[in-house]
Amino acid sequence: MIIRRVLNNSVVDALDDGMREVIVLGKGIGFQSQPGDTIDPAAIEKVFRLDDSAQGTKFAQVAADVPAEILSATDEIVSFARERLTEKLSDSIYPALADHLAFAVQRVQQRIDLASALESEVRRFYPKEYAVATEALEFIARATGVRMPQPEAANIALHLITAEVGGGDGSAAALTQLTQDVLDIVRLQFGISYGDDDPAYTRFVAHIRYFAQRVLSHTAIDRDDEELLGLLRRQLPHVFTGVDRIAAYVRDTHSHVMTSTEKVYIAMHVSRLV
């Protein structure tokens, strides 16, 4: 490997044997090194290869200012998440998570509260991501010696969710909030109490998550189900009081006009709950 740039004493931006850009981590690997120098393989501790060149550039910028132990923890978390989660993670997770963890560790050391406003929603809607994030707290503790409080798991999970859905900053929080808002509309409209162990509720949450993703990405499913929609409206008028409120809400807040197909699917799920 050949050094392109020295980022700090422990991190360098380099080219591997295939001339791909990589970020290389190793104790003292950048000390007194110069661009063009060959890296001693024995000095290499970790190599980060990102397929997305734009994210690789972002990660190099972050790596220049982030302690090596944070980069190590980031690599462990991402590798663990990719083993445990079914959704593919975007390379955007590397710079975003490393930057977040660096500041999170600082805040814990300064005794600043790390509470997450969406902790209960993340734990309920994304149990797999939350479980991975809980394990991530152990990786961080081993790498840095800093024990993060449990609420930080929700913040880490939001980064995983964002990388899964391929969104930008804040997309995971927006997705979680929109999902909760739709569930609240149904709960208040029909006066029902959700049970986390109810299969109908679990299926409804999964459907609303995908619906929320489409709303936020400005896409829609439309199979021209107007005839079926009219039939269901006549059969289930009470259900459509809730469906119409959801339609009005996403129209007013996200400029999303629900299609007949989307209304049919939500109506069918709601009918199983009420």
Closest CA to 67 of 143, 142, 174: 143
∠23-47-162 over CA atoms, to 5°?
75
pLDDT in tens, 154-185: 999 989 998 887 655 457 888 889 999 999 99
Domain locations along the chain: 1-49, 52-169, 172-273
172-273 carries CATH number 1.10.1790.10: yes
Report CA Rg, the chain: 23
Each as own residue / partner, the long-range contacts of residues 197-200 (CB below 8 Å, 24 or more positions apart, any chain) are: 200/269, 200/272, 200/273
Residues 6+ apart with CB under 8 A from 134: 150, 153
Residue 170: the pLDDT is 54
Give 88's DSSP letter. P
Nearest to 261 by CA among 225, 214, 210: 225
Longest pairwise C-alpha distance within the chain: 77
Res 5: pLDDT: 87
Q: How far is it, in rounded angstroms, from Cα 169 to Cα 60?
A: 18
Distance CA 48, CA 75 (A): 8
Indicate the DSSP class of residue 145: S
Instruction: Compute the distance between CA of residue 248 and CA of residue 184 in angstroms, rounded to an integer.
Output: 14
CATH of domain 52-169: 1.10.1790.10
Phi/psi at 161 (nearest 5 deg)? -65, -40
**Paired tokens of 118:** 């969406």
Residue-by-residue pLDDT tens, the chain, 274 positions: 899 889 888 889 898 888 888 899 888 888 888 888 899 888 898 888 888 788 888 888 888 888 989 999 999 999 999 999 988 898 889 999 999 999 999 989 988 776 666 788 888 889 999 999 999 999 999 999 999 999 999 999 989 998 887 655 457 888 889 999 999 999 999 988 877 777 788 888 888 988 998 898 888 888 888 999 999 999 999 999 999 999 999 999 999 999 999 999 999 999 988 8
How far is C-alpha 98 from the chain's CA centre?
A: 14
Pick the CATH number of 1-49 from 2.30.24.10, 3.40.50.620, 1.10.10.10, 2.60.40.10: 2.30.24.10
Please check whether the two domains, 1-49 and 172-273, share a CATH topology: no
